[in-house]
């Protein structure tokens, strides 16, 4: 049944060896936002574990826009030359995912404080789940587009093959798309065309740097960081317009209970049934499957699937960041 996953796939101008890819997944192992040797070991392990394509963890494009106060030094960045040099040690195995969290940023996060700027979001409404989510204003959209482009330029300097725009999980791009967070009445809000404008402009800026090796990740299921709207409301338009740009690929995250935060008694996520990845690939409905958490706990995930080994490693949630990262065992073959 899984044979369909083990065929080479052309992704833009790159041929990947199989259709099991590794999704962007924040792991918080940087030091003061700079890539570490431990991160290098992590990505190399998964490269040898057979990942057809590796997308790195969400990488901040600017110091302003940090998401968590307790991860103030451990989320990775890509806004200065030292970041470029750090990522050069990893780039032979990865593709980059650039992101800005927008209103989901935490004003008490260490890097956010160093930025000397407030948390920005698109409308005068905060993401629920904590009184710390404040929204005093917004920079001109041109600034955000320029910051994404600057990060892409740095990614190219660091040797990445391409970039994936993180337009998912209720972060900045998703906030503009979603009517539950975007209440603007100017050219960046209201209609689906206006709400899609920032994401499309950022994609065009990234294409100026990487050509056709630009990808997009979105989460139609919604819910995370207090967003979640009907699937057809915007995503059909945004995805179709993004597809016209000739992107390398578009990743759609399927429903997960973790997205299903309940506010005012109403689930925010949009639940929809999805066939398993191998069936979808075999049917020609999708080109590849993108896996997140299981790659964290199984450095040899692709090999396990190929050799019919169980995915039985248990996540280490001890809170000790020196464990549960590069120390998961591989299967016996």
Instruction: Tell me if 107 sits within 8 A of 132, measured CB to CB.
Output: yes
Q: What are the DSSP calls for 18-62, one per residue?
A: SSEEE--------BTTB--HHHHHHHHHHHHTT-SSBEEEEEESS
CA neighbor of 152 nearest in space, from 99, 104, 225: 99
Instruction: Write down how long the chain is.
Output: 333
For residue 298 the two structure tokens come to: 């199984």
- Give the number of other Cβ atoms within 10 Å of residue 266's Cβ: 8
Distance CA 118, CA 141 (A): 15
Q: How far apart are the first and last CA of the chain?
A: 20
CA neighbor of 316 nearest in space, from 301, 304, 329: 329
For residue 321 the two structure tokens come to: 């960041």
Distance CA 178, CA 80 (A): 31
Q: Which of 110, 120, 171, 255 is catalytic?
A: 171
Q: Please, what's the b/e burial string for 248-260 (b: 16 or more CB within 10 A of its CB; e: otherwise)? A: bbbbbbbbeeebb
Q: Confirm whether 171 is a catalytic residue.
A: yes
CA neighbor of 234 nearest in space, from 193, 269, 204, 188: 193
Rounding to the nearest 10 degrees, give the CA dihedral for residues 224, 248, 160, 151: -50
For residue 261 the two structure tokens come to: 């935060």
Give Cα separations from 158 to 94, 166, 176, 325 (angstroms).
11, 19, 29, 23
Apex CA 179: angle with CA 249 and CA 223, to 5°?
65
Active site residues: 171
């Amino acid at each position: 049944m899984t044979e369909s996953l083990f065929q080479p796939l052309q992704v833009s101008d790159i041929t990947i060896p199989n259709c099991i890819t590794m999704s962007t997944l924040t792991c918080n192992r940087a030091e003061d936002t700079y890539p570490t040797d431990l991160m290098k070991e992590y990505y190399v392990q998964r490269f040898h574990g057979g990942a057809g394509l590796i997308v790195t963890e969400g990488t901040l494009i600017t110091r302003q826009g940090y998401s968590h106060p307790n991860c103030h030094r451990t989320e990775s960045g890509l806004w200065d030359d030292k970041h470029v040099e750090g990522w050069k040690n990893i780039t032979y195995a990865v593709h980059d995912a650039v992101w800005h969290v927008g209103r989901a940023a935490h004003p008490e996060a260490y890097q956010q404080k160093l930025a000397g700027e407030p948390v920005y979001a698109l409308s005068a409404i905060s993401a629920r789940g904590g009184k710390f989510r404040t929204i005093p204003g917004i920079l001109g959209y041109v600034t955000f587009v320029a910051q994404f482009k600057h990060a892409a330029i740095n990614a190219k300097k660091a040797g990445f093959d391409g970039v994936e725009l993180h337009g998912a999980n209720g972060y900045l791009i998703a906030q503009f798309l979603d009517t539950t967070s975007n209440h603007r009445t100017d050219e960046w809000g209201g209609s689906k065309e206006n709400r899609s404008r920032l994401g499309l402009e950022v994609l065009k800026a990234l294409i100026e740097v990487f050509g056709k090796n630009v990808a997009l990740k979105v989460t139609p299921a919604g819910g995370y960081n207090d967003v979640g709207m009907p699937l057809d409301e915007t995503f059909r338009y945004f995805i179709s317009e993004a597809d016209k740009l000739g992107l390398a690929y578009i990743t759609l995250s399927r429903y997960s209970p973790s997205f299903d935060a309940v506010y005012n008694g109403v689930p925010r996520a949009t639940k929809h049934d999805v066939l398993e990845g191998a069936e979808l690939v075999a049917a020609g409905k999708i080109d590849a499957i993108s896996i997140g958490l299981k790659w964290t706990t199984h450095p040899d995930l692709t090999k396990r699937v190929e050799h019919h080994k169980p995915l039985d490693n248990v996540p280490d949630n001890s809170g000790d960041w020196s464990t549960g990262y590069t120390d998961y065992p591989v299967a016996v073959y």
